[in-house]
Amino acid sequence: MSETDLKRTPLYDAHVAAGARMVPFAGYSMPVQYKDGVLKEHLWTREHAGLFDVSHMGQARLRGVSPLLAFEEVTPGDFIGLKPGRQRYSLLLNKKGGVIDDLMAARPDDDGLFVVVNGACKDNDFKVIENELAGQVSVDRLEDRALLALQGPEAAAVLEAHAPDAVKMAFMDSAAITAFGVDALVSRSGYTGEDGYEISVPAADAERVWNTLLADERVRAMGLGARDSLRLEAGLPLYGHDVDDITSPVEAALTFAISKKRRDAGDFPGAARIMKELAEGPTRVRIGLRVLVGAPAREGAEIADENGAVVGKVTSGGFAPSLGAPIAMGYVPPAMAAPGAKLNVIVRGKQQAAEVVAMPFVPHRYVRKV
């Protein structure tokens, strides 16, 4: 797409003014990095607080007589049991057990279900929900709102001055509160493995909120590059790369998103395949790899066994700034997936030693309820 064809978030002008390098992403012109570069942005987020523009994501309210019950028809989560003030990670599934998208769904208030989906998938996601749940829910897309992510160990301390109620929240709490003088939807969650918040605000107020946060010396603006390296270290899959519509939750190591109640009932889309894989095991599984020698193994690199036979493929990979070493995620047969297993990655035609390691690569630092 040409620059003129790309959409812009409400923060586009602020990114350009700050000297961000803009790139096409999910149909939007988005900042990939600022003047400090990806490495410094990444480490700053791990040590202080990074501010990300994620306004390209799809935000919507699902409303109806029983939107929680209806949402269970397209996901494997227990949404009837979702308590007010809580958020749940879930998967939009197709009838073959593949993942249409991964998403967050929350009850910040009594106004139905607040759903956030991936930017590149949002048009199809909302169409699927509307079609599958026709007559049960209405999908009100919140095009007039921006979404900011404040991530890092100092995020709570920064936000306290602007939204004191947010500091009382724990991981995966969600609330409709007044923050920065506007009506905000806030969750204590994120995509970095760090403590932090995602903050939905009216688009008209987005730049003021952005600049207010950046006025704090503990906060710096972050681009897509740091977002990707942070989520990779956290072992979090990226839709369209590590997960897609032919990948099952079992293959992707996302079975935690299938609630016990739904497993017992077997009443979710693609249950026949997924329940079979839960019982017998899938033919491949997502793993974490530490590349022991050589260059990082990027998406598409082949994974081989110790004898050189190709057994899988890398789906995400790069240099991990927090570890000072290359890491990757990919898929291999279950027999080769145990931590400590010796494998190779093929980079530029050369085999490089790698080892299967448990994920996350860097420990999560979420603030959970005591």
Q: Report CA torsion sign: 123, 187, 46, 243.
A: negative
Whether 151 and 52 map to the same domain: the answer is: yes
Asked if residue 351 lies in contact with residue 344, where contact means CB atoms within 8 angstroms, the answer is yes
Task: Indicate whether 259 belongs to any domain.
Answer: no
Asked if residue 96 lies in contact with residue 274, where contact means CB atoms within 8 angstroms, the answer is no
- Give the three-class secondary structure for 200: strand
Beta bridge partners of 64: 137
CATH, residue 23: 3.30.1360.120
pTM of the model: 0.97
Whether 226 and 297 map to the same domain: the answer is: no
Rg of the chain, C-alpha, whole Å = 20
Q: Structural domain tally of the chain?
A: 2
Q: How far apart are CA 98 and CA 254, in angstroms?
A: 12
Task: Indicate whether 46 belongs to any domain.
Answer: yes
**Residue 311 identity:** V
Whether 164 and 24 map to the same domain: the answer is: yes
Whether 294 and 223 map to the same domain: the answer is: no
Whether 227 and 151 map to the same domain: the answer is: yes
Q: What is the pLDDT along the chain (370 residues), one digit of tens a residue?
A: 566 789 999 999 999 999 999 999 999 999 999 999 999 999 999 999 999 999 999 999 999 999 999 999 999 999 999 999 999 999 999 999 999 999 999 999 999 999 999 999 999 999 999 999 999 999 999 999 999 999 999 999 999 999 999 999 999 999 999 999 999 999 999 999 999 999 999 999 999 999 999 999 999 999 999 999 999 999 999 999 999 999 999 999 999 999 999 999 999 999 999 999 999 999 999 999 999 999 999 999 999 999 999 999 999 999 999 999 999 999 999 999 999 999 999 999 999 999 999 999 999 999 998 6
CATH, residue 288: 2.40.30.110
Domain limits for position 201: 3-57+144-233
Q: How far apart are CA 191 and CA 31, in angstroms?
A: 17
